Amino acid sequence: MARVIKVARKGFDVKTAGDENLLYSSLWPVLSIFKEVPIKITNPNEDAIIFEHGLGYPPMFWDFTNFTNTFNLPGSSQFFSELFSVNEKYLKYTKPQTAATAPIEGVVQLFTLDLSRQFTAPVINVGGVSGNIRSSRSFKLAKEGKSINSTRLKDFVITTDARSPLIHSVNPGTVQANGGDIYGNGFTVEHTLGYVPLCFGYSKGSNGYYSILASGGGGTTRFAATPNKVIFSESTTGRELTLVLMKDPFEAEQTGVVTV
Amino acid sequence: MSELKLSLTDIRSTKPSDYILNRKYPNPKVALGRTPAHIGILKIDVISQPVYSSGDIITWYSFPHIYDYIPTVIGLFFGSQDDFTNGGILPYGSWGALGEVFMDADDRNVYVKFQSFDVGATPLGERHFFIRYYVFAEEGRLDP
């Protein structure tokens, strides 16, 4: 019988917590940062190789910069600039379509997760028992060079005072004819989570570089999701892509209303 | 220096992708129990048909975070919590050439903003959608 190590989130009983309420389990990876690459591009209107990660595979990544579609916002950081991509060796910067007017600053998080390798975690216990466990115990692992007594959350690898995204599956594939929903062509990933998971898409270009898949609802691409599948649809076929499904459900407590 | 590693396959593996926990590779972390919450869903209702000038960036919503630096924030959207069609990651661009909705953060607050591309004469049509957001403790800007 395989041994399993798991730690529940604060307030949950590890024996009954649903998979999505575990801090981690040895059965699936937590999203882990291989390298935080500082970004300060002083010639933003030229393409450049930013960093040689040397992983030997294309890693999942997130980018955060001061660049929106057409502006550089001073003192701020926004997710997904459409400026970065990765292959098995490099992190690359591609100049924006509209010229940037100031240096681009921020950070790119390269994760250890391999976008080219299929992986599916088991579904052990979805839902589970709602947390109502009061405990003074905690689990913390400090980063290298940091103290376990630090009061700064960023100094820890993992801690029961925080939640980290858990990986459910990594799904490389190709957009097929009649593989989608409203646009006809698409790539469908079935899952057995029983709820709508968070999902990130990465598109593989003809140059072998993976970029974050834009799906903002303004064009002819979109995501759709049900409790048992995630569908990426578009009007053309042939795109190579990878869909990464998290164990985190999309549904959550509504924390605010924005009325405009 | 002590090490802690847990592996999906063989603990002697040197491939970062084989580890489920390794002290060298931290995880993006969302602080729990914060007010305002650092993880949640915002319901967005655009009903007033606003008109914005080209190039304007308008803050629609903001809330303070707890950090003294710029954190990392991600947002994903879906049309509704009952109908998970037409989803994706921000920016949300359902209005096409008129503009798009995005989230960002500075060293004080997290923001939901609209960036206008329009020449300034077309009202935004009515839209209702949800944004699922995470405010991570990891820094959103690092100096080289």
In contact, A158 and B29? CB cutoff 8 Å: yes
Query: Which chain A residues are closer than 8 Å to B23 by Cβ?
Result: 141-144, 157
Q: How far apart are CA A37 and CA A111, in angstroms?
A: 11
Locate B29 and state its tokens. Answer: 């972390």
Model confidence at A225: pLDDT above 70? yes
Model confidence at B79: pLDDT above 80? no
Chain-chain contact of A222 with B96 (C-beta, under 8 angstroms): no
Q: How far apart are CA A174 and CA A225, in angstroms?
A: 18
Task: Give ∠ CA B134-A112-A63 in degrees, rounded to 5.
Answer: 45
Query: B31-72: per-residue pLDDT in tens?
Result: 988 999 999 999 999 999 999 988 889 999 999 998 999 999
Beta partners for residue B130, in sequence order: B43, B78
For residue B106, what pLDDT band results from cuts at 50, 70 and 90? very high
Q: Which helix (H) or strand (E) holds A212?
A: strand A210-212
For residue A141, what pLDDT band results from cuts at 50, 70 and 90? confident
Do you find a cis peptide bond into A29, omega within 30 degrees of 0? Answer: no
CA distances from A246 to A20, A86, A89, A105, B13 (A): 9, 21, 25, 28, 24
Q: Report helix, strand or coil for B50.
A: coil
The predicted structure's pLDDT at residue A137? 66
Q: Which helix (H) or strand (E) holds A203?
A: strand A197-204
Q: Is-above-0.95 flag for pTM?
A: no
In contact, A211 and B89? CB cutoff 8 Å: no
Q: What is the mean pLDDT of residues B106-132?
A: 89
Q: What is the mean pLDDT of residues A243-253?
A: 86
For residue B144, what pLDDT band results from cuts at 50, 70 and 90? confident
Task: Give ∠ CA B117-B123-B127 in degrees, rounded to 5.
Answer: 95
- For B1, the closest of A144, A161, A224 (CB atoms) is A144
Beta partners for residue A201, in sequence order: A243
Q: How far apart are CA A119 and CA A2, in angstroms?
A: 19
Query: Which chain A residues are closer than 8 Å to B77 by Cβ?
Result: 217
The predicted structure's pLDDT at residue B81? 53
The predicted structure's pLDDT at residue B83? 58
Chain-chain contact of A222 with B16 (C-beta, under 8 angstroms): no
Higher pLDDT, A215 or A18: A18
Query: A17-69: per-residue pLDDT in tens?
Result: 777 777 777 777 788 999 999 999 999 999 999 999 999 999 999 999 998 76
Q: What is the mean pLDDT of residues B65-85?
A: 82
Model confidence at A218: pLDDT above 80? no
Model confidence at A83: pLDDT above 70? yes
CA distance B136 to chain A (A): 9
- To probe the interface with B, which of A10, A22, A27, A32 has the most B CB atoms within 10 Å? A32
**ipTM value for the complex:** 0.89
CA distance B24 to chain A (A): 6
CA distance B120 to chain A (A): 16
Chain A: residue nearest B45 by CA?
A: A259
The predicted structure's pLDDT at residue B13? 64
Query: Which chain B residues are closer than 8 Å to A134 by Cβ?
Result: none
The predicted structure's pLDDT at residue A166? 87
Nearest to B20 by CA among A200, A32, A153, A248: A32
Chain B: residue nearest A234 by CA?
A: B86
Chain-chain contact of B70 with A75 (C-beta, under 8 angstroms): yes
The predicted structure's pLDDT at residue A125? 65
Percent of chain A with pLDDT over 70: 89
Higher pLDDT, B28 or A225: B28
Interface of B with A in 55-74 (CB under 8 A): 55, 57, 60-61, 63, 70-74
Q: How far apart are CA B135 and CA B32, in angstroms?
A: 10
The predicted structure's pLDDT at residue A1? 54
